[in-house]
């Protein structure tokens, strides 16, 4: 249960080279959004774009494949996509909204759907929730520190950021540079340390790189809607899959990291409670 | 009706519940005795919560017509004397210089098994907190307090206004005696202050914020913007409804309810 409830676990990637080129890993989030848009399952999606091209993400509403691709690729700072849903519903007037969010945001959305105190006529418009694996998130100043102070590169020159195999990596105009993840510890935002969800347990479909080979993503289908959309994307040839048992490192690594996050957050919550610092009340 | 909830709320006061039970079957009630009798009282508020209750019949017709009897309420029921109620929804804060409001509030407490502070004005004062009197036609009316300052409140539904969906969820949970769903609203009953500052004091300052943006989604007046991954409060726009911190998943998280809703 460290991965939450899921129907199927797979390794997968988008078959379209246009998606592969811009995607972080297998391009699953982009492919699913594009497919959902084309099928009319959603009218628009709230995605983490990079409007100023400076790695500071901000929610954008994408209503076609080009806009989805523009926002492809992971940004390692906070994009308040839950807030973006307001723009999608009120400014864009969308009746069917999808979004790609990290686990804490998934919790916010699911809470808003269950207890919509002031959030009127939003919950039922959310038709697709893609969750991405997330260990922690960094303020922009932390990313700046990694890039400028630790790797001697201006953020402006960074083409891609990636975390994997124990390293924080940047691709810049003059090549690839990395620092061990150990050096990034302590630079994450503090709220992440009490989060126990690595794999977005309340999504329709969760996806992320961990468990799959380079260029592929691990996918967990969770709700019936999630299964239907993913199956349909595979059926039309937009996504290709491999059994997760046949890839390295596979689910054991994902489970290890998910459990690690749960254990760590439990310890941190106990530590804070001892100090008299309030932590989320769970019902 | 609501006996399970009343019991959970009042504990040792169970005999009172037994006394009230026969009241439900009084012959003067024209409707089915099994339906909860709901009253609606409007104190000092803008009527927005009442509109939220009544305007969205597409969601609420089943709830309002089939599941409950509305037995009291201006514009809702043609009745002047206050009947016994299973649940009284009270909208608006109460004005300390308005004897009639205070009397109505006290009477409602006496005649209702459950009192619900309905909407942020009743819960915590909301924008009536800014009132300072000196206005026609009642210049002396200057103090507007949350109803829980004068009477015991059983559950609170903040919102400016409370969304129709939330009203429907709550009424259904009440008729079904679903304590799991109601518990957060019961725990909110004693909240008498709220504003965007709660995010600073309770969430960000306590290292809980992850910048998800749910607070800004919940904000009714766009007083919140998200800047560098944190909510940024424009004080001048804040009406002190408390919806931001109430909606924050790091204040409280209804894990069991979400699991039930999603099957995950």
Q: What is the ipTM of this complex?
A: 0.96
Structural contact between residues A117 and B159, judged by C-beta atoms closer than 8 angstroms: yes
Residue A143 is classified by DSSP as H
Enumerate residues 6+ apart whose C-beta is below 8 A from B171.
Answer: B38, B63, B67, B68
Calpha distance A267→A272 (Å, rounded): 9
Place of tokens 């079957």: B25
Identity of the residue in A120, A195, A283 whose CB atom sits nearest the CB atom of B254: A283
Which residues face B156 on adjacent strands? B117
For an interface test with A, give the residue of B119, B124, B229, B248 to mutate (most A CBs within 10 A). Answer: B229
Q: How far apart are CA B212 and CA A115, in angstroms?
A: 17
- Residue A32's closest CA among A50, A13, A57, A8? A13
* B52 pLDDT tier (thresholds 50, 70, 90): confident
Distance CA B191, CA B254 (A): 18
pLDDT of residue B19: 40
Higher pLDDT, B58 or B254: B254
In this structure, what is the dihedral angle of CA atoms A103, A107, A112, A113, given to the nearest 10 degrees? 90
pLDDT-derived band at B193 (thresholds 50, 70, 90) equals: confident
The arithmetic mean of pLDDT across residues B37-47, rounded, is 93
What domains can you pick out in chain B, each with its CATH number?
A: 3-190 (3.40.50.700), 197-262 (3.30.70.20)
Distance from CA of A118 to the nearest CA of B (A): 5
Task: Give the pLDDT mean for B213-229.
Answer: 96
**Local structure of A160: helix, strand or coil:** strand
Q: Which of residues 194-253 of B touch A (CB under 8 A)?
A: 202, 206-214, 216-220, 226, 228-229, 241, 243, 246-253
Tell me the nearest-neighbour CA distance from B223 into chain A, angstroms: 13
For A67, B151, B244, the CA distances from A37, given in Å and listed in that order, are 11, 52, 31
Least confident of B28-32, B82-86, B238-242: B28-32
Q: Cβ contact (<8 Å) for B217 and A5?
A: no
Closest CA to B68 of B48, B86, B56, B49: B86
Sorting pLDDT into bands at 50, 70 and 90, what band is B225?
Answer: very high
Maximum CA pair distance of chain B? 63
Question: Which residues in chain A have their CB less than 8 angstroms from residue B159's CB?
Answer: 117-118
Q: Quick check: B85 contacting A, CB < 8 Å?
A: no
Interface test with A, best of B212, B221, B225, B245 (most A CBs within 10 A): B212
- Indicate the DSSP class of residue A141: H
Beta pairing, strands A175-180 & A167-172:
antiparallel
Distance CA A45, CA A97 (A): 6
What is the share, in percent, of chain B residues with pLDDT greater than 70?
84
Q: Is the pLDDT of residue A168 over 90?
A: yes
Q: Look at A21-35, A228-242, B188-202 and tell me which has the smallest mean pLDDT.
A: B188-202
B184 vs A: CB within 8 A: yes
Would you place residue B76 in the very low, low, confident or very high pLDDT band (cuts 50, 70, 90)? confident
- CATH class of residue range A138-187: alpha beta
pLDDT of residue A99: 98
Which of A3, A8, A80 to mutate to test binding with chain B, by most B CBs within 10 Å of its CB?
A80
- Rounded Cα distance between A206 and A227, Å, is 11
Q: Where residue B60 falls among pLDDT bands split at 50, 70, 90?
A: low
Q: Please give the C-alpha separations between residue A36 and each of A25, A43, A110, A231, in angstroms, as whole numbers.
A: 20, 8, 20, 12
Residue B8 pLDDT level (bands cut at 50, 70, 90): low
- Reported confidence tier of residue B172, pLDDT bands at 50, 70, 90: confident
Confidence band of B6 (pLDDT split at 50, 70, 90): low
A201 in helix, strand or coil?
coil
As a whole number of angstroms, the distance between CA A63 and CA A51 comes to 16
State yes or no: pLDDT of B12 exceeds 50. Answer: no
pLDDT of residue A173: 87
pLDDT at B3 (0 to 100): 66
Confidence of residue B59 (pLDDT cuts 50, 70, 90): low
Residue pair B65/B109 in contact by the 8 Å Cβ criterion: no
Supply the pLDDT for residue B190.
81
CA distance A81 to chain B (A): 7
Residue of A nearest to B229 (CA): A78
Question: Please, are residues B169 and B185 in contact by the beta-carbon 8 Å criterion?
Answer: no
Range from A256-260, A274-278, B163-167 carrying the lowest mean pLDDT = B163-167
Interchain contact A227–B (C-beta under 8 A): no
Contact between B208 and A279 using a beta-carbon 8 Å cutoff: yes
Residue B35 CA to residue A278 CA, distance in Å, equals 40
Would you state the pLDDT for residue B23?
40
Residue given tokens 């006529």 in the structure block: A121
Residue B15: predicted pLDDT: 40
Report whether pLDDT(A81) > 60: yes
| Confidence band, pLDDT 50/70/90 cuts, at residue B194 | confident
Residue A148: pLDDT band (50, 70, 90) is very high
Tokens at B54, concatenated: 């009544």
Count of residues in chain B: 264
pLDDT of residue B238: 94
Q: How far is A16 from chain B (nearest CA, A)?
A: 31
DSSP letter at A165? T
Q: Which candidate, A26, A88, A39, A93, places its Cα nearest to that of A61?
A: A88
Q: What is the mean pLDDT of chain B?
A: 87
CA distance B181 to A115: 9
Distance CA A220, CA A10 (A): 7
Q: What is the 3-state secondary structure (H, E, C) of chain B?
A: CCHHHHHHHHHHHHHHHHHHHHHHCCCCCCCCCCCCEEEEEECECCCHHHHHHHHCHHHHHHHHHHHCEEEECCCCCCCCCCCCEEEEEEECEEECCCHHHHHHHHHHHHHEEEEEEECHHHHHCHHHHHCCCCCCCCCCCCCEECHHHCCCCCEEECCCCCCHHHHHHHHHHHHHCCHHHHHHHHHHHHCCCCCCHHHHHHHHCCCCCCCCCHHHHHCCCCCEEEECCEEEECHHHCCCCCHHHHHCCCCEECHHHHHHHHCC
- Specify the pLDDT at position B5: 67
Contacting residues of B for A101, CB less than 8 Å apart: 212
Mean of pLDDT values over B80-90: 95
Distance of CA B10 to the CA centre of its chain: 19
Size of interface A-B (CB pairs under 8 A): 183
pLDDT computed for residue B41 by the predictor? 95
**Average pLDDT of chain A to the nearest whole number:** 97
């Amino acid at each position: 249960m460290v991965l939450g409830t899921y129907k199927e676990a797979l390794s997968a990637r988008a078959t379209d080279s246009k998606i592969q080129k811009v995607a972080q890993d297998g391009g699953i989030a982009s492919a699913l959004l594009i497919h959902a848009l084309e099928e009319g399952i959603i009218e628009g999606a709230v995605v983490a774009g990079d409007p100023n091209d400076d790695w500071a993400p901000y929610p954008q509403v994408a209503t076609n494949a080009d806009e989805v691709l523009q926002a492809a690729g992971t940004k390692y700072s906070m994009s308040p996509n839950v807030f973006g849903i307001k723009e999608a519903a009120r400014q864009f007037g969308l009746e069917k909204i999808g979004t790609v969010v990290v686990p804490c945001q998934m919790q916010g959305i699911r809470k808003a759907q269950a207890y919509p105190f002031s959030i009127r006529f939003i919950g039922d418009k959310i038709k697709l929730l893609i969750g991405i694996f997330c260990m922690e998130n960094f303020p922009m100043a932390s990313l700046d520190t990694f890039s400028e102070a630790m790797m001697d590169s201006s953020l402006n020159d960074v083409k891609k950021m990636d975390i994997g195999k124990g390293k924080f990596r940047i691709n810049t105009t003059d090549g690839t540079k990395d620092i061990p993840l150990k050096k990034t510890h302590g630079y994450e935002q503090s709220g992440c340390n009490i989060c126990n969800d690595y794999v977005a347990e309340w999504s329709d479909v969760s996806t992320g790189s961990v468990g799959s080979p380079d260029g592929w993503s691990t996918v967990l289908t969770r709700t019936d809607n999630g299964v239907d959309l993913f199956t349909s994307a595979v059926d039309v040839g937009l996504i290709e899959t491999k059994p997760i048992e046949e890839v390295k490192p596979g689910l054991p690594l994902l489970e290890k990291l998910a459990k690690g996050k749960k254990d760590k957050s439990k310890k941190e919550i106990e530590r804070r409670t001892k100090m008299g610092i309030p932590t989320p009340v769970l019902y | 009706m609501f006996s399970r909830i009343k019991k959970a709320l009042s504990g040792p006061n169970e005999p009172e519940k037994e006394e009230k039970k026969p009241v439900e079957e009084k012959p003067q009630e024209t409707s089915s005795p099994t339906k909860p009798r709901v009253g609606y009282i409007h104190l000092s508020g803008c009527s927005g919560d009442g509109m939220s209750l009544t305007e969205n019949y597409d969601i609420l017709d089943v709830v309002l017509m089939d599941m409950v009897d509305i037995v009291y309420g201006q514009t809702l029921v043609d009745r002047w004397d206050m009947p016994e109620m299973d649940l009284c929804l009270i909208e608006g804060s109460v004005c300390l210089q308005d004897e009639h409001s205070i009397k109505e509030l006290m009477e409602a407490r006496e005649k209702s098994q459950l009192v619900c502070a309905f909407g942020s004005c009743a819960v915590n004062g909301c924008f009536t907190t800014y009132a300072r009197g000196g206005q026609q036609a009642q210049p002396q009316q200057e103090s507007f307090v949350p109803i829980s300052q004068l009477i015991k409140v059983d559950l609170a539904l903040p919102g400016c206004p409370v969304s129709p969906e939330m009203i429907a969820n709550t009424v259904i949970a009440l008729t079904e005696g679903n304590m799991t769903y109601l518990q957060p609203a019961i725990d909110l009953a004693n909240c008498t202050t709220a504003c965007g500052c709660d995010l600073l004091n309770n969430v960000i300052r306590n290292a809980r914020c992850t910048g998800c943006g749910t607070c800004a989604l919940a904000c009714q007046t766009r007083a919140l913007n998200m800047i560098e991954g944190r909510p940024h409060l424009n004080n001048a726009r804040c009406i002190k409804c408390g919806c931001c911190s109430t909606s924050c998943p790091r204040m409280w998280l209804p894990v069991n309810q979400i699991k039930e809703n999603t099957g995950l």
